[in-house]
């Protein structure tokens, strides 16, 4: 969704797979950085502080180089209203960074012999758990080609976003390839479902959930299983949160436990992610009561005076900095986007599954399959493919880089990891977690800059960082920050993507 959207836009089990001695848990080496890095640390501080003063950067930032945490700092405000500064260790909603936890859980179930990712997911859908499916089971048809009968996407196709399931929201598919928009025919099918779900759960201004709903109840609210398919399974790619919510349902069904209990017992505890959790409280039910140190919800949306588009970049003025809560996204976050974490925990998570997948119940073969580039995203300037719940760059057989930008309610959690194949404990990574989405329109002559906070010359940004709207995810400031830090630390941008 940009809410919980694609990489550039942006939600107590019975199977205790592995109980761990502390020595098996990967953690970043937090030894003080090499003195050689002092200059680079200062340079990063100056760069980010300037953007923070200009009020376009707010959040936590970290750099891991050759397995060592060399930089970590916080900028801006956790809550501007309450004058609370941002600091390391704060918990953010991680949006779509949830998806890889879900994908790992599915592969754990495969390791246990409870499913095979090549199976049609239809096999695992109990029609009595859903409204309107009849008794015969899930039989989605292809829009416009209904005569072809039931579509049967494999579990792997759901995890790779190639199933054909219709977006549960009004998003497009997140690829230039797809010209389909929700206006084409989505709403005609959604009308009944929207009445049902919005009516029943309280609408955009109410609370959708009380925090205890099952994945089946959430899928019912989305209406996803009552919709026709957008395309035949495997034919195309479409970034659709419903894929992961269906997998969340399968996890609950096969493990006989709630998604939150399953993930806690089988992933979070073994990986020692003590500040990571799943939570679906819904609007107005911030998790501060549940967990302390959660950043202020909602995040912020900063926009600049649009009319300044005609003027010189120096004239750009910030005109709005508003709390941003997309009231209608909670109902589709679930196993696609309803987890919370800290930058420190997310880095620990990436280090754990890349260096020691067995610690979280995965064989090396499962990890390799999960992180294999499958579907090129086709986003200009981004050589990357969707794997299964994660974005991967590499060749068909070798993954060189993993990344994700989770986005929800004005928060973006961006992580990139450059893998060291010879020694996975020596990988590089950069993270930027932000509670501020900046929308910076392009200036005249294609220039792109923001007003200097101190009355100096405008801060020039690369043009790719500008030009967005709040609707399409706005300026891609998280990628700008990560790219700049990569340059400062000589972390090279990667190897080809030929998937």
Ligand X SMILES: *[C@@H]1O[C@H](CO)[C@@H](O)[C@H](O)[C@H]1NC(C)=O
Interacting residue ranges for ligand X, rule: CB under 6 A: 14-15, 22, 25, 37, 40, 110, 116-118, 175, 177, 235-237, 255-256, 272, 274, 305, 307-308, 312, 317, 319, 365-366, 369, 376, 378, 383, 397, 444-445, 489-490, 496-498
Query: What string of DSSP letters covers 326-370?
Result: -TTSHHHHGGGT-EEE-HHHHHHHHHHHHH-GGGGT--HHHHHHH
Q: How many CA atoms lie within 13 A of 425 on its CB side?
A: 7
Q: How far is the CB of 164 from ligand X (least distance, A)?
A: 11
Q: How far is the CB of 202 from ligand X (least distance, A)?
A: 33
Q: Which is nearer to ligand X, 183 or 445 (CB)?
A: 445
CB atoms within 10 A of CB 318: 18
Q: How far is the CB of 452 from ligand X (least distance, A)?
A: 16
Q: Which is nearer to ligand X, 133 or 367 (CB)?
A: 367
Spatial CA neighbour of 381 closest among 241, 317, 476 = 476
User: 283 and 206 in contact (C-beta within 8 Å)?
Assistant: yes
Closest residue to ligand X, based on beta-carbon distance: 496
Query: What counts of helices (H) and strands (E) characterise the chain?
Result: 11, 18
User: 448 and 462 in contact (C-beta within 8 Å)?
Assistant: yes
Q: Which is nearer to ligand X, 163 or 197 (CB)?
A: 163
Q: How far is the CB of 217 from ligand X (least distance, A)?
A: 19
Q: How far is the CB of 373 from ligand X (least distance, A)?
A: 11
Strands 318-324 and 92-95: unpaired
Q: How far is the CB of 25 from ligand X (least distance, A)?
A: 4
Q: Which is nearer to ligand X, 49 or 447 (CB)?
A: 447
Q: How far is the CB of 490 from ligand X (least distance, A)?
A: 4
User: 9 and 472 in contact (C-beta within 8 Å)?
Assistant: yes
Residue showing tokens 């100096």: 456
Spatial CA neighbour of 261 closest among 116, 105, 129, 413 = 105
- 59-79 burial: b if 16+ Cβ within 10 Å, else e: bbbbbbbebbbbbbbbbbbbe
Q: How far is the CB of 177 from ligand X (least distance, A)?
A: 4
Q: Which is nearer to ligand X, 305 or 425 (CB)?
A: 305
Query: Strands, E, within 3-144: which ranges?
Result: 59-65, 68-75, 77-79, 84-85, 92-95
Q: Which is nearer to ligand X, 293 or 397 (CB)?
A: 397
Q: Which is nearer to ligand X, 209 or 304 (CB)?
A: 304
Q: Which is nearer to ligand X, 8 or 201 (CB)?
A: 8
Q: How far is the CB of 39 from ligand X (least distance, A)?
A: 7
Ramachandran region, residue 434 (left: φ > 0; alpha: ψ -120 to 50; beta: rest):
beta
Q: Which is nearer to ligand X, 203 or 323 (CB)?
A: 323
Burial of 377 (0-12, 13-18, 19+ CB in 10 A): buried
């Amino acid at each position: 969704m940009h809410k919980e959207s694609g990489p550039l836009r942006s939600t107590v089990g019975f199977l205790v797979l592995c109980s761990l001695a502390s020595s098996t848990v990967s953690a970043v080496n937090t030894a003080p950085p090499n003195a050689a890095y002092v200059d680079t640390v200062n340079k990063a501080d100056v760069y980010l502080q300037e953007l923070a003063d200009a009020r376009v950067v707010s959040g936590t930032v970290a750099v891991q180089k050759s397995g060592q945490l060399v930089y970590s700092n916080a900028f801006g405000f956790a809550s501007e209203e309450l004058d609370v500064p941002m600091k390391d260790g704060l918990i953010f909603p991680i949006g779509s960074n949830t998806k890889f936890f879900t994908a790992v859980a599915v592969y754990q179930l495969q390791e246990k012999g409870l499913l095979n990712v090549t199976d049609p997911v239809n096999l695992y859908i109990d029609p009595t758990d859903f409204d309107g499916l009849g008794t015969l089971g899930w039989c989605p048809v292809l829009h416009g080609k209904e005569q072809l009968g039931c579509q049967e996407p494999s579990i792997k196709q759901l995890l790779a976003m190639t199933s054909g399931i219709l977006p549960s929201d009004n998003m497009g598919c997140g690829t230039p390839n797809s010209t389909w928009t929700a206006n084409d025919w989505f709403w005609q099918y959604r009308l009944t479902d929207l009445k049902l779900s919005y009516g029943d759960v309280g609408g955009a201004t109410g609370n959708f959930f009380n925090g205890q709903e099952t994945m089946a109840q959430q899928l019912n609210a989305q209406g996803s299983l009552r919709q026709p398919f957008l395309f035949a399974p495997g034919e195309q790619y479409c970034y659709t949160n419903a894929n992961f919510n269906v997998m969340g349902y399968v996890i609950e069904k096969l493990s006989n436990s709630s998604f939150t209990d399953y993930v806690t017992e089988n992933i979070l505890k073994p990986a020692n992610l003590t500040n990571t959790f799943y939570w679906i409280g819904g609007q107005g039910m911030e998790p501060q009561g549940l967990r302390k140190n959660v950043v202020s919800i909602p995040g912020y949306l900063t926009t600049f005076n649009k009319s300044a588009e005609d003027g010189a970049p120096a004239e750009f003025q910030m005109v709005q900095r508003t709390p941003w809560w997309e009231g209608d996204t909670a109902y589709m976050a679930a196993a696609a986007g309803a987890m919370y974490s800290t930058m420190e925990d997310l880095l620990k998570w990436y280090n754990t599954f890349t260096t020691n997948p067995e610690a979280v119940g995965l064989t090396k073969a499962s990890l390799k399959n999960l992180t294999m580039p499958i579907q090129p995203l086709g986003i200009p300037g981004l050589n990357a493919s969707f794997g299964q719940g994660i974005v991967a760059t590499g060749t068909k057989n070798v993954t060189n880089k993993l990344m994700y930008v989770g986005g929800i309610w004005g928060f973006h959690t961006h992580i990139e990891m450059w893998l060291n194949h010879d020694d996975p404990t020596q990988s590089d990574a950069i993270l930027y977690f932000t509670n501020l989405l900046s929308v910076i329109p392009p200036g005249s002559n294609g220039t792109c800059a923001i007003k200097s906070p101190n009355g100096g010359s405008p801060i020039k940004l690369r043009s790719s960082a500008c030009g967005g709207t709040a609707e399409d995810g706005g300026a891609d400031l998280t990628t700008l920050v990560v790219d700049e830090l990569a340059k400062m630390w000589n972390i090279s941008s990667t190897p080809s993507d030929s998937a």
